[in-house]
Amino acid sequence: MTRIFLHGAGRMARRVLALAPQSENVEVLGLVSRSKPKDTIPMDWYASLEEFTGEIDLLIDFTLPAGTTAAADWCARHGVALLTGTTGLSVEERRALKTAAQKVPVLWAPNLSFGVAVATSLVRRAASAFGASANIHIAETHHEHKLDAPSGTALALAEAVMEGRCEPLEDLLKSAQQEKPIEQGEGELTFSSVREGEVIGEHTVSFRLADEEIEITHKALNRDVFAKGALKAGEWLAGQPAGYYSTSDWLDLG
């Protein structure tokens, strides 16, 4: 049985809490958030991680970047695996996760759906096959409440592109265009981000060649896909040695 503690009380954390009873091998022992949820949650609540004194195997974090950094420090000090789906992390905040990974297993993924993990693997392979001959555009659409743009998933897909090309992301990341694609030079990587309605998440990676275009698209139809992924990935992560993991490691996608 994997003993889980939830860090955050937003929509994603609540879906994890709601779906946890469907998983036979996990048990949620508590939830921590800065303010107590107004509605009734059948779970022990704590105002901070330091207030919790029990024993757990895994912390699932869906907060803000500062909260994720605090979670990484707490997990490293208490020997607890950390799975986080928080987006908008800076270089320094991701470095904090990698520091924690020297002591405990850590998995950071801006998108925990099985479909996005497969799409990311396909993008990496396509980028390797096409090389710098393809212009690549990543288009993403999310609900109007999402603040970061490009989305964490879009940036993760961009990293997959550059891994396929064996180049640093910064060498080819030309812009983060918000509403429309921009004219590209050869081999460039660009983004477009749209915020409207209650769209859960749509991502399309387009490989544009001289005479053809290839698209890889993923659409999330229900937010539960992320919560289910968090529970399954978390159960796997709790059994791993210290290290910095990805969804490709979890699903053995290479």
Q: Report the catalytic residues.
A: 142, 146
Q: CB–CB of 169/162 below 8 Å?
A: yes
As a whole number of angstroms, the distance between CA 27 and CA 231 comes to 10
CA 14 to chain centre: 17
The residue with tokens 């964490």 is: 152
As a whole number of angstroms, the distance between CA 37 and CA 41 comes to 7
Residue 173 tokens, joined = 């990341």
Q: Which residues pair with 139 in a beta bridge?
A: 192, 204
CA 73 to chain centre: 19
